[in-house]
């Protein structure tokens, strides 16, 4: 007894898939749940039975739009379209080891015969004259299926995998569970199976938690990083327009796709799926993640399948754990930002000639998004937030990976610091690497333990556990003034100070005006003159001591340089007296005594010294204390 013949279209689909396997169309990978009818239910079914907006008027065969058993084009497998000699703009990046890339070839060229939008869907070799289509005969211009001839924002293709090696961020050979064809080349079919849409977008495997991306791209430390493990909500942030798929709701589910996209990258280099260039250089904040601003406008695809139309902005997503409002901090009066239209001071190396080019500040200068985590650290060691970042060591040597936090800061604030004093000093040292040099007469303990461990004002009531032998971070002083983050993203107090610290002459003494100094240095101790005592007999208008000078309106910065004093650095001047106790006078307030070139302080022992200078109109002629 003969059984009923199955549906002709579906039978032909099964035969076509079998033929492709026999004809060597790479390693066509089928999901365990795959059946011969699956392709009939995908957008690649362009027959009259298809469910998409592009389909045939009467043609019931499914495979005929790509394959034909007779009179096929020379390309395998039995290709049913002419391959036009198009010229494409291909992906290019200075970090691409496989480049420069050739024009698309092999299976990629076959995919582009439809996806570049230049050939009508019904323009096949067999049947002669093509296939009549209902409605549009090409992909809708501007849709996410229409690549056009510009492939510069798409994942690189048509190159041998081995040509990208050796590469510490790639597996050492083509993974067996992806399809590299006979020549181990990266093509569209490496990640997409045109006959199976089980995972969406015809992906060869599910990319949830970046499973597909990390099959080839393997970065040491990624699996434990914040972007790979955080369960923070991305509702209202992802998917990022114009894409509307997938619909995962947690950061770790998106993984690589939080920042990168394999198609239609807004920033071609590194395939970023958000704009990372000026006038909005903070890509991590403009992406809507590290910001309390409303999420980006989400897109909705019309019933016609054309270009996505912008919908209303997504909901406000308050920054959660690991998602500080960096965007808000960077808009403060003093911040690590680059405002559009401003001309930056030329950056200089070692106080010499201006460095070629102007350096912009971006999140990736201080953070490695692939390795960053929430691991805490003690000064001077770098925390997990700075993991995997390059830097400059205390000797000026370039580092691939920093060990100490200050090595990140030294990338910009050492040999490349603009030669501009925030406060004009007797000894001008703008290079912070030299200012913190442990051979200096004094420095704040950022690079090494301080030289003076007899500091009566430490600890303070705010930091009762602090010791004079403790080390501190650059971010102990330079950080968000509202405590929104631990980093120097922005502050209401210049230069990105964690607390207020007035430097103007005539400032009344108060905790509020000198909050930055008083956080570590106990105010009561300072005002009791424990380390800088008054003279027994008043010989100056103020009466001397810390209390007298502060009462007279002299700010802390009039005498003390908070970084350190390097007398032999470019700009350093010998013969300017002692520079212990961070003494380096503000030359706008403290002037030389008549006949001298510089205002001079001489250290004469424990808690004692003398000054020869003019301050507030009062001449100090070797005036000693206590």
In tens, the pLDDT along 493-527 reads: 999 999 999 999 999 999 999 999 999 999 999 99
pTM of the model: 0.81
Q: What is the percentage of the chain residues whose pLDDT exceeds 90? A: 62
Task: State residue 236's pLDDT score.
Answer: 81
Residue 213 pLDDT grade (very low, low, confident, very high; cuts 50, 70, 90): very high
Residue 573 pLDDT grade (very low, low, confident, very high; cuts 50, 70, 90): low
Q: Is residue 275 domain-resident?
A: no
**What is the rounded average pLDDT of the residues 549-576?**
87
Q: Which residues pair with 600 in a beta bridge?
A: 612
Q: How many CA atoms lie within 13 A of 250 on its CB side?
A: 10
Q: Is residue 122 domain-resident?
A: no
Q: What is the percentage of the chain residues whose pLDDT exceeds 70? A: 81
Closest CA to 317 of 235, 246, 244, 227: 235
Q: Residue 312 has which token pair?
A: 């209303």
Residue 276 pLDDT grade (very low, low, confident, very high; cuts 50, 70, 90): low
Task: State residue 285's pLDDT score.
Answer: 76
Residue 603 pLDDT grade (very low, low, confident, very high; cuts 50, 70, 90): very high
Residue 76 pLDDT grade (very low, low, confident, very high; cuts 50, 70, 90): confident
Measured on CA atoms in the order 321, 323, 329, 335, is the torsion positive or negative? Answer: positive
Distance CA 361, CA 408 (A): 13
Q: Is residue 481 domain-resident?
A: yes
Q: Is residue 133 domain-resident?
A: no
**What is the rounded average pLDDT of the residues 156-168?**
94
Phi-psi region of 271 (alpha: psi -120 to 50; beta: other; left: phi over 0): left
Q: Is residue 567 domain-resident?
A: yes
Structural domain containing residue 588: 410-626
Long-range contacts of 604-607 (CB under 8 A, 24+ apart): 606/454, 607/531, 607/532, 607/533
Q: At residue 338, does pLDDT exceed 80?
A: no
Residue 4 pLDDT grade (very low, low, confident, very high; cuts 50, 70, 90): very low
Cis preceding linkage at 138, omega within 30: no
Distance CA 625, CA 610 (A): 6
Q: At residue 21, does pLDDT exceed 70?
A: no
Q: Residue 364 has which token pair?
A: 């990736």
**What is the rounded average pLDDT of the residues 155-178?**
95
Task: State residue 28's pLDDT score.
Answer: 38
Contact status, residue 9 vs residue 49, Cβ threshold 8 Å? yes
Contact status, residue 158 vs residue 151, Cβ threshold 8 Å? no
Q: Which residues pair with 217 in a beta bridge?
A: 170
Q: At residue 99, does pLDDT exceed 90?
A: no
Task: State residue 571's pLDDT score.
Answer: 57
Q: Total structural domains in the chain?
A: 1
Helical ranges in 471-621 per DSSP H: 515-520, 523-527, 545-551
Contact status, residue 61 vs residue 44, Cβ threshold 8 Å? no
Distance CA 378, CA 472 (A): 9
Q: At residue 439, does pLDDT exceed 80?
A: yes
Residues 6+ apart with CB under 8 A from 327: 282, 285, 286, 290, 291, 292, 293
Q: Residue 320 has which token pair?
A: 């959660």
Q: What angle do CA 442, 448, 450 make, to 5 degrees?
A: 40
Strand intervals (E) in 431-511 = 490-491
**What is the rounded average pLDDT of the residues 350-363?**
52
Closest CA to 383 of 407, 415, 399: 407
pLDDT 10s digits, 371-417: 999 999 999 999 999 999 999 999 999 999 999 999 999 999 998 88
Task: State residue 2's pLDDT score.
Answer: 35
Contact status, residue 557 vs residue 537, Cβ threshold 8 Å? no
Contact status, residue 399 vs residue 391, Cβ threshold 8 Å? yes
Residue 359 pLDDT grade (very low, low, confident, very high; cuts 50, 70, 90): low
Distance CA 429, CA 552 (A): 28
Q: In angstroms, what CA-CA distances link 225 with 63, 237, 259, 462?
A: 44, 20, 14, 33
How would you classify the pairing of strands 600-605 and 608-615?
A: antiparallel
How buried is residue 23: exposed, middle or buried, by Cβ count under 10 Å (0-12/13-18/19+)? exposed
Q: At residue 7, does pLDDT exceed 70?
A: no
Residue 221 pLDDT grade (very low, low, confident, very high; cuts 50, 70, 90): very high
Distance CA 235, CA 534 (A): 63
Distance CA 108, CA 121 (A): 17
DSSP string for residues in 229-242: H---B-TTTSSPTT
Q: Is residue 53 domain-resident?
A: no
Q: Higher confidence at residue 555 or residue 280?
A: 555
Q: Is residue 19 domain-resident?
A: no
Task: State residue 317's pLDDT score.
Answer: 42
Distance CA 589, CA 411 (A): 32
Contact status, residue 566 vs residue 560, Cβ threshold 8 Å? no
Q: Which residues pair with 233 in a beta bridge?
A: 250
Number of continuous H segments (helices) and E segments (strands) in the chain? 13, 14
Q: Which residues pair with 427 in a beta bridge?
A: none
Q: Is residue 487 domain-resident?
A: yes
Q: Residue 93 has which token pair?
A: 């990046």
**What is the rounded average pLDDT of the residues 295-319?**
37
Q: At residue 453, does pLDDT exceed 70?
A: yes
Residue 540 pLDDT grade (very low, low, confident, very high; cuts 50, 70, 90): low
User: How confident is the prediction for the chain on average, in pLDDT?
Assistant: 83
**What is the rounded average pLDDT of the residues 425-445?**
95
Place of tokens 């200089």: 348
């Amino acid at each position: 007894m003969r059984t009923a013949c199955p549906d002709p279209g579906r039978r032909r689909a099964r035969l076509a898939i079998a033929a492709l396997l026999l004809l060597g169309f790479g390693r066509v990978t089928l999901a365990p749940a795959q059946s011969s009818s699956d392709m009939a239910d995908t957008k690649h079914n362009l027959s009259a039975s298809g469910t998409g907006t592009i389909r045939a008027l009467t043609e019931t065969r499914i495979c005929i739009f790509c394959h034909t058993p007779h009179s096929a084009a020379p390309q395998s497998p039995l290709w049913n379209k002419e391959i036009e000699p198009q010229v494409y703009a291909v992906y290019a990046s200075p970090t691409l080891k496989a480049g420069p890339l050739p024009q698309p070839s092999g299976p990629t060229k076959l995919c582009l015969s439809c996806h570049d939008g230049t050939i009508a869907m019904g323009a096949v070799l067999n049947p002669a004259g093509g296939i009549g289509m209902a409605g549009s005969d090409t992909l809708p211009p501007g849709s996410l299926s229409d690549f056009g001839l510009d492939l510069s924002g798409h994942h690189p293709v048509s190159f041998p995998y081995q040509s990208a090696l050796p590469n510490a961020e790639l597996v050492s050979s083509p993974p067996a569970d992806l399809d590299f064809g006979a020549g181990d080349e990266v093509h569209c079919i490496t990640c997409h199976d045109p006959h199976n849409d089980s995972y969406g977008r015809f992906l060869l495997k599910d990319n949830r938690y970046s499973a597909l991306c990390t099959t080839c791209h393997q970065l040491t430390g990624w699996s434990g990083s914040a972007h790979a493990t955080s369960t923070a909500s991305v509702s209202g942030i992802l998917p990022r327009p114009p894409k509307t798929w997938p619909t995962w709701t947690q950061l770790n589910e998106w993984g690589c796709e939080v920042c990168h996209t394999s198609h239609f990258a807004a920033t071609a280099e590194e395939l970023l799926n958000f704009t990372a260039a000026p006038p909005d250089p903070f890509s991590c904040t403009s992406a809507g993640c590290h910001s309390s601003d409303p999420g980006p406008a989400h897109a909705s695809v019309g019933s016609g399948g054309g270009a996505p139309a912008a919908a209303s902005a997504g909901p406000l997503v308050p920054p959660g754990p690991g998602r500080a409002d960096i965007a808000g901090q960077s808009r403060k009066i003093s911040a690590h930002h680059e405002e559009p239209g401003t001309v930056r001071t030329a950056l200089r190396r070692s106080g010499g000639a201006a460095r070629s080019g102007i350096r912009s500040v971006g999140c990736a200068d201080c953070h490695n998004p692939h390795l960053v985590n929430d691991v805490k650290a003690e000064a001077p060691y770098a925390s997990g937030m700075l993991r995997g970042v390059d830097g400059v060591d205390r000797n000026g040597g370039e580092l691939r990976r920093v060990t100490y936090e200050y090595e990140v800061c030294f990338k910009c604030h050492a040999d490349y610091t603009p030669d501009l004093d925030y406060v004009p000093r007797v000894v001008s040292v703008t290079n912070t690497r030299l200012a913190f040099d442990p051979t200096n007469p004094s420095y704040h303990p950022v690079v090494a333990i301080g030289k003076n461990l007899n500091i009566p004002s430490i600890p303070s009531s705010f930091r009762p556990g602090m010791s004079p032998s403790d080390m501190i971070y650059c971010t102990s002083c330079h950080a968000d003034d509202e405590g929104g983050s631990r980093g120097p993203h922005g502050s209401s107090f210049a230069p990105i100070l964690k607390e207020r610290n007035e430097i103007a002459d005539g400032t009344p003494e108060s905790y509020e005006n000198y909050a930055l100094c008083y956080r570590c240095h106990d105010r009561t101790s300072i005002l009791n003159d424990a380390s800088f005592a008054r003279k027994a007999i008043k010989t100056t208008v103020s009466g001397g001591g810390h209390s007298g000078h502060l009462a007279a309106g002299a700010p802390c910065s009039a005498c003390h340089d908070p970084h350190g004093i390097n007398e032999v650095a470019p700009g350093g001047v010998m013969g300017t007296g002692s520079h212990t106790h961070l003494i380096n006078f503000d030359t706008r307030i403290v002037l030389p005594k008549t006949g001298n070139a510089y205002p001079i302080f001489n250290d004469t022992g424990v808690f004692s010294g003398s000054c020869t200078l003019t301050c507030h109109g009062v001449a100090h002629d070797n005036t000693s204390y206590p």
